[in-house]
Structure 1
Amino acid sequence: MNSIIEKLTGMDALSDQVVAMDLLISAKSGVRNYAMAVTEAGTPEIKEMLTRHLAEALDMHEQISAYMAERGWYHAWDTTEQINLNLGNIRTALDLPTL
């Protein structure tokens, strides 16, 4: 989207929020996949390596969620607030002009 149009519609901040949420979802998926892989590891060495990767994935998830929480984009402990934020984002997306 054109940066001028993004600014006029308020989509510049929303675009950043969408990218951050996609990254957070990917980080969650990585944590889940590493956790499953640890339980399936065939040797202690592989299990140890996967456990290290899991710890790194958890750290990345924490950093992303903290970044989003600081900007008011993620309310992990307040589901009502998160639902309201999501509904507002949906309304914004639905109100965008179609090209």
Structure 2
Amino acid sequence: MTERRTLAWHETLELHELVAFQANGLVKLKRTEREVSDARLKQLYRFSIHSLEQNLRELLPFFPEAPGFREDETEERADSSFYSGGLLSMAKTSVRNYAGAITETATPQLRTVFVKHLNAAIKWHQMVFEYMEEHGHYPAHNLSELLKNDFRNARKAIAMK
């Protein structure tokens, strides 16, 4: 049995997607949790925060095994990067959700509306991606930079109080 030295490219990209999504969500939960007054809902927020922190802690050790990864302690990215990343995540999720919904639709009129919304979500995703790319927030063609940003953002999200 041979020892694995690096992650495969396809699993590295899945790792990127999961870490980026969860780190962004964790920051949003931590920022919002302070405003929640309902005790039960606050408990759900704390559970969610703990769960995402644990997921990220378990995923981060795989980064050194990713092709092209190099850890770098550079300056934190601006809030516009965080906020645009949240928009990108929402747009991507909308595309996936509408695509899935279309496959379950038996009513032609509803399918037409779903297709219209899917096309709008695709356009939305394109607009946000282009904004992020133009501002250097999403180095999609540079895996090393992409993974470095994910790693830094996840650690920042975990450390955030």
TM-score (norm. length: structure 1): 0.72
- Residue 82 of structure 1: SS of its match in structure 2? helix
**What displacement does 1:85 show?**
2.8
Counterparts of 1:57-72 in structure 2 under 5 Å?
57-72=121-136
Structure 2 partner of 1:46: 110
Indicate which of 12, 15, 18 corresponds to 2:82.
Answer: 18
Structure 1 partner of 2:30: none
TM-score (norm. length: structure 2): 0.46
Runs of 4+ residues deviating >2 angstroms? 84-91
Instruction: Provide Cα deviations, 1:64-87, integer angstroms capped at 9, x if missing partner.
Output: 000000010002232222112334
The separation in 1 between residues aligned to 2:105 and 2:154, in whole angstroms, is 41
| % identical aligned pairs | 31
Structure 1 partner of 2:143: 79
The separation in 2 between residues aligned to 1:71 and 1:90, in whole angstroms, is 20
Structure 1 partner of 2:95: 31
The separation in 1 between residues aligned to 2:151 and 2:87, in whole angstroms, is 20
The separation in 1 between residues aligned to 2:95 and 2:140, in whole angstroms, is 17
The separation in 1 between residues aligned to 2:104 and 2:134, in whole angstroms, is 36
Q: Which has the higher contact order (CA 8 A, sep 6+)?
A: 2
- Residue 129 of structure 2: SS of its match in structure 1? helix
Aligned pair count?
86
- Residue 78 of structure 2: SS of its match in structure 1? helix
Greater percentage in helix = 1
CA RMSD of aligned residues (A): 2.5
The separation in 2 between residues aligned to 1:77 and 1:48, in whole angstroms, is 34
